[in-house]
Chain A
């Protein structure tokens, strides 16, 4: 199963993860 997030954010939004990284519920994905 997969979850796709689509969202609008300011252009200075930065992802704080890398491709292939394991993540857990509540872990930071990105911030403005």
Chain B
């Protein structure tokens, strides 16, 4: 045997062509079968299951949610004052935090690691670019691109369903009653008049200062008409869209009080957004009705443990609803993203859905094992990473609608780079 192993010469010769063709056919057939293998429930919704190498299944067997909450509890413990500067500097050194940017120069003011982790930044350390879309967080661009056929690319060759990520129903599936976006809404919004805070009606177009029909090219600055100004002043409203992109509307013409502030804030967002989204709000909510000449895009930003963990509004937009998906809490590190299919659909997340000047806009903060808690500043009712005996099945969500947050925009208006919330330890 030893001689045969040593002395037998290696002789290469080509396989017959039909063997190669057979192998290629088999590979092609296998790939097609795998692509078609989508599990759906009785309503036709895709059922997302844990898929990946053995490491993923080992992690999936761990009580990640309980571990995350324990991690949060440990990190919310008050640290001795003498230890705080040492401990936080050590953490900053290990994870690359820039302590000089934190709004508290005195590190003893942070009572726990969780408190330090959720630190604010000094004013002005993050200049805002003059583009329609800016980064909502400090982090690393994991992936971005166009969405084709309702699938978002997680990594090269691996996609997940947009429907599953956002909870958008298929056209033929029964819709929950809370989802009220239909063609009917578009017609209603088109020429609607609104009662303002003093009961005086005014038209949405006048408020936004647009001509009829509104110009699709309106981008943050439109010309107010004299009539609109007068009516706005008569009703105690700020002059419609009177300032340039990014500036605050002069609130001196509006009445005193918190409601006046809300209206001024709405007007500011409206000025940045332009008038178009109000007329297209229903169309913008579904991938099945993207406007001609438009496409759907995605961007994924990963926040490392040392990064600033609050997030800001990436554009001027109106959040109409949030969907809280209770799920697993896998790590979302690039290592895991490469291995676990449907990671962003499996994990706990908060889908904020709304509209911006070009139509639909959605922002989805996704939790992870170490940062399972997601806070939204304007949604005090939201509770994430909460212990439960039996978590709901993957894909189910609880929904809140922000219609009452503003009388005019029918949602929560946000200006570009406005702080929205953040991720907390555990």
Query: B136: which A residues are within 8 A, CB to CB?
Result: 3, 5, 25
Closest A residue to B301 by CB, please name it.
A3
Contact of B204 with A by CB under 8 A: no
Does B362 sit within 8 A of A, measured CB to CB?
yes
The answer to whether A1 and B371 have CB atoms under 8 Å apart is: yes
Cβ of B298 and Cβ of A6 under 8 Å apart?
yes
| Stretch with Cβ within 8 A of A (4 or more), from B104-112, B142-150, B401-409 | B142-150
Residues of B within 8 A of A4 (CB): 152, 165, 298-300, 344, 363-364, 366
The answer on a CB contact under 8 Å between A25 and B144 is: no
Smallest Cβ-Cβ distance to B416: which chain A residue = A26
- Give CA–CA (A17, B133) in the complex, Å: 11
Could you tell me the distance between the alpha carbons of A3 and B309 in the complex, rounded to whole angstroms? Answer: 11
How many angstroms between the C-alpha atoms of A7 and B204 in the bound complex? Answer: 24
For residues 1 through 32 of chain A, which have their beta carbon under 8 Å from a beta carbon of chain B?
A: 1-11, 13, 15-32
CA–CA, A13 to B297, complex, Å?
9
User: Scoring B residues 283 to 308 as 1 if CB is less than 8 Å from chain A, else 0, what string do you get?
Assistant: 01000001101111111111100001
> Is B423 part of the contact surface with A, judged by Cβ < 8 Å?
yes
Question: Across the interface, do A8 and B363 meet the contact criterion of CB distance under 8 Å?
Answer: no
- Set A9, A23, A28: member contacting B358, Cβ < 8 A: A9
B312 at the interface (CB under 8 A from A): yes
Instruction: Indicate if B214 sits at the interface (CB-CB under 8 A).
Output: no
Interface residues on chain B, number (Cβ under 8 Å)? 62
What are the residues of chain B within 8 A of A11 when measuring CB–CB? 293-295
Give the tally of cross-chain contacts (CB within 8 A). Answer: 178
Q: Which of A7, A8, A9, A27 contacts B129 (CB 8 A)?
A: A27
Whole-angstrom distance between the alpha carbons of A8 and B283 in the complex? 10
In the complex, are the beta carbons of B308 and A25 less than 8 A apart?
Answer: yes
Within B367-426, which residues are at the interface with A (CB < 8 Å)? Answer: 367-368, 371, 417, 423
In the bound complex, CA of A6 to CA of B362 (Å):
5
Most buried by A among B291, B295, B360: B295
B250 at the A interface (CB under 8 A): no
Closest A residue, CB atoms, query B219: A32
- Which of A19, A24, A28 is B133 in contact with, Cβ under 8 Å? A28
Alpha-carbon distance between A19 and B154 when the two chains are bound, in angstroms: 12
Cα of A2 to Cα of B372 in the assembled complex, Å: 11
Say whether B141 contacts A6, CB under 8 Å: no
For residue B280, which residue of chain A has the nearest CB?
A8
- Say yes or no: B293 contacts A23, CB within 8 Å: no
Q: Nearest-CB distance from A20 to chain B (Å)?
A: 6
Residues of A within 8 A of B141 (CB): 17-23
The complex places the Cα of A17 from the Cα of B302 at a distance, in Å, of 14
**Is the pair A2, B358 in contact by a Cβ cutoff of 8 Å?**
no
- In the complex, whether B128 has a CB less than 8 A from a CB of chain A is yes
* Interface membership of B311, Cβ < 8 A: yes
Q: For the complex, give the distance between the alpha carbons of A21 and B142 in Å.
A: 8
* Contact, CB under 8 Å: A8 / B284: yes
The 3 A-B residue pairs with the shortest CB-CB distance, nearest first, are: A8-B359, A28-B129, A26-B128
16 new A-B contacts, CB < 8 A, other than A3-B366, A23-B137, are A1-B309, A1-B368, A3-B136, A3-B300, A3-B364, A5-B136, A5-B297, A7-B297, A15-B145, A23-B138, A23-B140, A25-B126, A25-B417, A26-B135, A28-B129, A32-B358
**Can you pick out 11 interface pairs between chain A and chain B where the beta carbons lie within 8 Å of each other?**
A1-B302, A1-B371, A3-B137, A3-B303, A6-B162, A7-B361, A8-B296, A15-B145, A25-B135, A25-B311, A26-B135
